[in-house]
Structure 1
Amino acid sequence: MDEEGRVKYHEQEGYPDDPAERTIAGNEHVNRARRFAKYWVYRERGYETLEWRHNPNRITAAAMAIAPLTAEAAAEYLGDFTQQFDHIHGDAEPAVSVPDEIQPADAVYQKDIYVGFEDQALGSLVGDLLGNDDVMAALGRVIDPTTARPDDAAFSAALAEITGKDPADVPNLSDGCLLEAVSGLHVHWDDAAGQYHTQWGEQPEIERDPHARIEIFEFDPDSIVELKCQIARHLLCQVRDCYLGMGIAPPEPFRLLGAGHHGAGTRYEHYDFYDRYHDPTAEISTWYEEYTPENAYDTSLAEIKS
């Protein structure tokens, strides 16, 4: 390490030190080791070594804030997705104007999520969530559009207990009291030359990083509740991608199939040592349990504040 805490050089025998001398797959293996090292320092010492979009604790907190929303609250926070998709599939006014060159099916629609936990330590919160069977069982119902209800009382009650909310405030969890703010819609696309572009939506006046960024392709949900369920599941798939990107297995609740991080889906498409975790119909051969340290999910040590 240098004096500013950056990795100056490292020693290992598995791959050439010069990235130019490695294979593409070799570079990905080295990148996985780097991601895991950053996660381990964060988990053990609480330093902010993880970029916010790849911090599984922060993304889990965002999913837990989105999942119990009522239809009315989901429309307030996520309604611009619905409006944009209704424009693509019908005659609604667009929520955002996009360049003519963009094909709707090729664009990624994004939104930043800010969660407020009144200085609750994210590591402790996520550890409590994962250790609560009622929360995880209710979460499974909430992210399944075929069984989910707009307000899952068991999920809200368990979250109220974990976050220290007064039981009288339980309905507020479904109204979005765990959400501090959301951004406007961002539109992300690549052009004919393969260059990526992003049209940024309006950001709230909050002087800190978001907890997560939704990254979804357009689809035609039957209702705002189905959209909310799919977004909550999408965020949990992002958590899955964080762990797989470190070369270790995600915790059991996050072993889901479906689109998570846009960049992770690209890796799953191009590296033969990854299964197609982004494909809901894929058959999975490995979750990398054999490479996962015994205490890899002990999140209570990380004291990063929201």
Structure 2
Amino acid sequence: MNAPSLPTSSHLNGPGDSRVEASAFGAHVLSWRCRGRERLYLSPNASFGAGKAIRGGVPVIFPQFAQRGDGPRHGFARTLTWEAEPDPERLRFRLRDREETRRHWPYRFEAELDVEPGEDRLRIALTVRNADTDPFEFSAALHTYLAVGDIAAALVHGLEDRPYFDSARGDSACPPSDAPVRFDGEVDRVYADTRRPLRITDGEHMLRCEAEGFADTVVWNPGAELAAGMSDLEPDGHRRFVCVEAAQVLRPVRLEPGQTWTGAQILIVESSSAQYRIGG
């Protein structure tokens, strides 16, 4: 891992050499090592103070994405301490409504994050239950920072035929690119209805990304100019990650009283990216 562990962090060994670490602060996955390599990026300059999101790992975005609402940017879940619940097979965290949440969002709810390492894979699942007497709507995402050797060699495959909204250019609607996503500057895109697996290649390394329950995919990297103003990012840190997020952004989830929703992101280490280099 790239930065000191939080005092509240928990570790879990999965099959093979798969090992995950997460903090109760934000129910934040900090590290996932698999096949001898760290698969997530965590900035060595990340701030671990109360009320400030951790730069890197997997922040939990809930109940608001970005500034699409009246609450804090990306919601409050990533800046509150969750309850850690004992489980021998996974890391499990729970967040219930309380004074801090009702200040921004008036509903009673329960959220649970399950982090389960498997052989060559990591499954992260977010479950939300409406504990209120009124229906509510929310957005959510797993803001996953994937480690890469150099952003210049990184490609995201599987979105070639999907239109997207370009948040770096005023949420303008863009047609499909017919090419893998490259990172030669700021990239901030929301792709709708992305049902098939994605693959992120980085030289000889390849990671498959699957989703359950989430309809959208967000792809983000700040680029050099924006990254230079981020005090919690190391110099040239933007070159060491790409964010590929399972998300529910364009059509919020609506839950009636007592209803439950679950969305999950599954990361799978694959052996080689050679088949994706041709024409990429």
TM-score, normalised via structure 2 length: 0.24
Q: Give the number of the structure whose residues are more often strand, by fraction.
A: 2
Q: Give the number of the structure whose residues are more often helix, by fraction.
A: 1
- Structure label with greater radius of gyration: 1
Which structure has more relative contact order (CA 8 Å, sep 6+)? It is 1
